[in-house]
Amino acid sequence: MVNLKSAVEIEKIAASGRIVGAILAAIGQQVKPGISTDDLDQIARQMIEEAGGTPSFLGYGDPPFPAAICTSVDDEIVHGIPDKTRILREGSLVSVDVGVYLNGYHADAARTFAVGTISRELEDLIAVTRACFWIACQQAIPGKRTGDLSAAVQKHAEDHGYGVVRELTGHGIGQNLHEEPDLPNYGRAGHGMRLEPGLVIAMEPMINLGTRRVRMKQDGWTIVTADGQASAHYENTLVVTDIGPRILTLEPGEEEAWSD
Ligand code: MG
C-alpha cells in the first residue's frame, strides 16, 4: 500500500534530508587520492551523531549492513562496504549513498564523486547519470505515472549507450527506508502508479558504462557490473506537490542552483 505523507511528515523527512545533503557535501570535499572509504564513513557517522540522528543503513538487512554509508568504487554499482584498507586512487569513481533517520523518518540520497582527475569518459558517465535524475524529475507531477519517470531515466541513459541497472530500483520512503512504490530505472511511459501530492520517493538512477548486467560480491552486499566497467549513481528523496517536485536532500547551496 502506498502511504501519502502529511505536511508534518514531509517536514520531518526534509529535516532528515538536510542532514543527508550536508553529509554528501562534506564527503564530496574530502574525496581525494589517499583517503580510505572508511574515512568517508567516519565523516558521516560523526555528522549524523551531532545532528541527533541514526544512520539508516547501519544494521539494515541480512547480513546486517556494517557501516553508516555505502561507498562503491569504480565497477561497484551500489552497497559497497566502507573499509580502512580501501584507499581511493587518482582516476577512480566513488559512489556515496547516505541515509539518515531522525524523528521517525528517513531520507536517502547518493552522489558519484571523481577521485582527483578522471577520464572524459567517466566525467560523461557521472554527468549523464545526474541528468537522468533531473530529466525524470520533471515528470514528478500529479497525474503522471511512475512509468513516466522510469522511461525518462532509461531513455536518457540508453541514448548515450549506457546500461541501465534493472535489479535495483528507487522506492517510496518515510517511516521505513524502503516503501511502496518501487521505482525502476526502466519502464514504459503511461504505466505504473499515478503520482499524487504527498508521495515521497527516492529516485536513484544506477547507470553502467557498459553492460547493464550485474553480480554480487561474496561479501553479500556489494553489487558490481558483470563486465568490470565503471558505474555511477545519483539519488535524491523528493515529494510530489501540486506545483511540482520538491527535492528534500539537496546539498547546501544546491537549492539556488536548482531553482535557476
Ligand atoms: Mg535509495
- Give a yes or no: residue 252 inside a domain: no
Backbone torsions φ then ψ of 239, nearest 5 degrees: -120, 135
Q: How far is the CA of 107 from the centre of ligand 1 (A)?
A: 9
CATH number, domain at 231? 3.90.230.10
Q: How far is the CA of 160 from the centre of ligand 1 (A)?
A: 24
Q: How far is the CA of 58 from the centre of ligand 1 (A)?
A: 14
Cell readout for 73 is: 568504487
Q: How far is the CA of 192 from the centre of ligand 1 (A)?
A: 19
Residues linked to residue 111 through DSSP beta bridges, in sequence order: 96
Q: How far is the CA of 178 from the centre of ligand 1 (A)?
A: 7
Q: How far is the CA of 186 from the centre of ligand 1 (A)?
A: 16
- The dihedral sign for the CA sequence 142, 207, 123, 177: positive
- Give a yes or no: residue 135 inside a domain: yes
- Tens digits of residue pLDDT in 184-242: 999 999 999 999 999 999 999 999 999 999 999 999 999 999 999 999 999 999 999 99
SS3 of residue 198 by DSSP? coil
- Tens digits of residue pLDDT in 85-141: 999 999 999 999 999 999 999 999 999 999 999 999 999 999 999 999 999 999 999
- Tens digits of residue pLDDT in 56-98: 999 999 999 999 999 999 999 999 999 999 999 999 999 999 9
Q: How far is the CA of 85 from the centre of ligand 1 (A)?
A: 26
Taking the C-alpha atoms of residue 100 and residue 144, their distance in angstroms, rounded to an integer, is 28
The 8-class DSSP code of residue 184 comes to -
- Give a yes or no: residue 177 inside a domain: yes
- Give a yes or no: residue 145 inside a domain: yes
SS3 of residue 92 by DSSP? coil
Q: For residue 89, which of 74, 71, 78 has the smallest C-alpha distance?
A: 74
Q: For residue 73, which of 82, 62, 64 has the smallest C-alpha distance?
A: 82
Q: pLDDT category, 255, cuts 50, 70, 90? A: confident
State the residue range of the domain holding 164: 7-247
Q: pLDDT category, 257, cuts 50, 70, 90? A: low
Q: How far is the CA of 61 from the centre of ligand 1 (A)?
A: 14
Q: How far is the CA of 210 from the centre of ligand 1 (A)?
A: 22
Q: How far is the CA of 206 from the centre of ligand 1 (A)?
A: 10
Q: How far is the CA of 130 from the centre of ligand 1 (A)?
A: 15
Q: How far is the CA of 50 from the centre of ligand 1 (A)?
A: 23
Q: Do residues 13 and 174 make contact, with C-beta atoms less than 8 angstroms apart?
A: yes
| Residue written as grid cell 501519502 | 4
Taking the C-alpha atoms of residue 45 and residue 58, their distance in angstroms, rounded to an integer, is 10
| Predicted local distance difference test score (pLDDT) of residue 254 | 83
| Predicted local distance difference test score (pLDDT) of residue 173 | 98
Q: How far is the CA of 235 from the centre of ligand 1 (A)?
A: 7
Q: How far is the CA of 179 from the centre of ligand 1 (A)?
A: 10
Residue 259 has pLDDT above 80, yes or no: no
- Give a yes or no: residue 259 inside a domain: no
Q: How far is CA 108 from CA 124, 203, 226, in A?
A: 24, 9, 26
Q: Do residues 123 and 116 make contact, with C-beta atoms less than 8 angstroms apart?
A: no
Taking the C-alpha atoms of residue 161 and residue 208, their distance in angstroms, rounded to an integer, is 9
- Give a yes or no: residue 13 inside a domain: yes
Q: How far is the CA of 232 from the centre of ligand 1 (A)?
A: 14
Q: For residue 181, which of 221, 213, 140 has the smallest C-alpha distance?
A: 140
Q: How far is the CA of 69 from the centre of ligand 1 (A)?
A: 11
- Give a yes or no: residue 257 inside a domain: no
Q: For residue 163, which of 247, 236, 223, 116 has the smallest C-alpha distance?
A: 223
Q: pLDDT category, 260, cuts 50, 70, 90? A: very low
For residues 47-60, average pLDDT:
98
What secondary structure does DSSP assign to 102-147, as a single string? ETTEEEEEEEEEE-SS--HHHHHHHHHHHHHHHHHHTT-STT-BHH
| Predicted local distance difference test score (pLDDT) of residue 1 | 82
Q: How far is the CA of 81 from the centre of ligand 1 (A)?
A: 15
| Predicted local distance difference test score (pLDDT) of residue 93 | 98
Taking the C-alpha atoms of residue 47 and residue 43, their distance in angstroms, rounded to an integer, is 6
Domain count of the chain?
Answer: 1
- Give a yes or no: residue 255 inside a domain: no
| Predicted local distance difference test score (pLDDT) of residue 256 | 61
pTM: 0.97
Q: How far is the CA of 187 from the centre of ligand 1 (A)?
A: 18
